[in-house]
Structure 1
């Protein structure tokens, strides 16, 4: 069955709703409830892990050799490291992102007594006071502080507000959805991927599409700190595709248009056969695509393999300019990804051996170029 038509308005509406919910790693309960309710509205049965990772299974013609699509609802953020004598807050990052992109950010501090607004500023923030020292100040988390928009002139007043070490700080996304299709916001990684997943499910449900095997829709809550899909897979899942951001930067082949298929990340190559299948589907369904390799990148799939899951993995991405900073994408990439997911969900299973956790050599996959090279080497050996 060919790719399905994607409701772009539904996709962007879901992205807007997701961006409105603060969800740095460790503070994801509210966004989990939102995604769960939307999945249930679409007609799927949902179950949560103890900490809140989501699994929704859409039944197919067969349970064995199931397929999974995974994205993460958690984002970058910060935590209170110290209550400073000047009434401001020292921070440490949640996830890996530069303090360069924290400077000037509006944010919310979540304390036991309630939430407070604030701004992350360099230690030397006033040009009228520090003159050129503002321009020469070093970059780093020890060189910024959070100014709380409440009476907080010293540690004691911070304490009276109920702010404590370890409190979560969420960074405002400041989204803009432009008429020309560009979307500029923080936290597009990976709320755009979650919106893509929901749009693909909406299309499958709208068209009452039958898939050859069960589809597991997985939403993890700690990808930004490396946990990802470590504990959410079930043994019947044979293949898993992660949806996350690509990096449109000098030296990269990613694009803000079409699908960017990752061939490898810092943990190594993705599954040869699953990746080839995705490329072929793009070609057959006339979905624009490009390939890329990410050297300083890992996704939900890496954590699943490191946890010992024997599952084929691949990564498809929407190209993001200034990833983990002031991010920008284009709706064309999001729509293309959702189309590819629907094409994959309905594509026939080719490696039937994968329905078994362990099996013999019969039906095992082939990499013809490698085997041809081996045969050539054997033919060139001198006869005894």
Structure 2
């Protein structure tokens, strides 16, 4: 990646991080993304709900590929106005209150032109008042509250300022870029992927690249609450790659200085052929990479498949330590994701003829590309055991269409 491109990606990421966008309140960040695409001359549309789809030109008449990222983040919502003048919270997205405690926040009331600042505090916040109880108190959401930076001491004071149940509370990202190339911030989950996708769009637009296949860049707004890419995807898309964080933690294989290609997540396995194509591309291009499996994780790819998308789907991840808390990634990892996506977008579809259509005949299905055991399982006409290659019946080999083993 040229240094100028790298600098643009960093600057774009910092702007994204400093624009609050908890799921359900994403208009401001989508305006920023839209303005960026307008500046690049990349056309895009918005769905009724606000998800964005930009189009990168290709030789195909249909939109055959999609890069999917999400701009929404975890956050909170006001559950109750408390009698002590503080705010009770519920999480937006899945994360522990222990990683919200101590966070500086912005609270957005229904007046769109105003927000308030505050801090998420445990109910027992001062050791000088509660002694050792500050270490033994529970850490669930009902045991934290927002202390607002205004003179309020009761519920009536909150109502006078315009606070309501349902107000959004955004955790301030406070990004830092270290001399070693690390980015430490809240909300890298999602927004680092958006920065990479926008950088790809910049490269394609400025260099006037025509890809082999017309490609959409889809920016979703509800990934953190599970909806994500459930709407807005072009029905012609044959290959989808979601870009999201790859969890760096004990017991995981993800790397913080390269790209991670997950084989499966909580939703199940990703597409066999597309994931392995991405692995081959990374190896051929000398991109540092790893494979991983995530047990407590889902992405936009899962939302798209569950919504009925007839596409091969895979995930590409930038290494992330401390997900949904104080997160950290490295610029080398973002560059690795960029390089892999850039390489993939310039290749034919995984199976050019087959994948170009939504369906086809069994004889054309490219199943021979997926290795199978050399031993052959055979159905039996009676309940006795038979050795591989043995057939109990009138004919061998078995007639075409005979059932195979059940899983």
Superposed displacement of residue 43, structure 1: 1.6
User: 1:361: Cα distance to partner?
Assistant: 2.3
SS at match of 1:193: helix
Deviation at 1:367, TM superposition (A): 4.9
User: Using the alignment, how far apart are the partners of 2:85 and 2:270 within structure 1?
Assistant: 48
Q: Is the 8 A contact 2:277 2:350 kept in 1?
A: no
- What do residues 100-149 of structure 1 show as CA deviations (whole Å, max 9, x unaligned)? 01111000110124211100000000111001111111111011000011
Q: Which moves more between the two structures, 57-66 or 247-256?
A: 57-66
Once the two structures are superposed, the pairs formed by residues 1-384 of structure 1 within 5 Å of their partners are: 7-64=5-62, 66-113=64-111, 114-351=114-351, 352-368=353-369, 370-373=371-374, 375=376, 380-382=388-390
CA contact (8 A) 1:23 1:31 kept: yes
Distance 2:60 2:50 in 1: 27
Cα–Cα, structure 1 residues 278 and 86, in superposed 2: closer, same or farther, change >3 Å? same
Structure 1 residue runs of 4+, over 6 Å off?
Answer: 3-6, 376-379
> Cα offset for 1:350?
3.7
Q: Please give the secondary structure, in 2, of the residue aligned with 1:26.
A: coil
Return 99-108 or 202-211, whichever deviates more: 202-211
Offset of residue 377 of structure 1:
7.0
TM-fit CA distance, 1:90: 0.3
Report how far residue 20 of structure 1 moved: 1.1
Query: 2-side partners of 1:337 and 1:197: how far apart?
Result: 9
| C-alpha distance 60-294 of structure 1, shift in aligned 2 (>3 A) | same
Structure 1 pair 157–213 and aligned structure 2 pair: CA distance change class (3 A): same
* CA radius of gyration, larger in: 2
**Structure 1 unaligned regions, length at least 5:** none
Q: Secondary structure at the match of 1:109?
A: strand
State the Cα distance separating 1:210 from its structure 2 match. 1.9
Q: Do 2:67 and 2:240's aligned partners in 1 also have CA atoms closer than 8 Å?
A: yes
The 2-side partners of 1:125 and 1:173 are apart by: 22
Shift of residue 362, structure 1, vs aligned partner: 4.0
Moved more, 326-335 or 340-349: 340-349
Normalising by structure 1, we get a TM-score of 0.96
User: Would the alpha carbon gap of residues 372 and 126 (structure 1) be closer, same or farther in structure 2, given more than 3 Å must change?
Assistant: closer
Q: TM-score, length-normalised on structure 2?
A: 0.90
Unpaired segments ≥5 residues, structure 2: 380-386, 393-407
Q: Please give the alpha-carbon distance, in whole angstroms, between the structure 2 residues aligned to 1:18 and 1:83.
A: 30
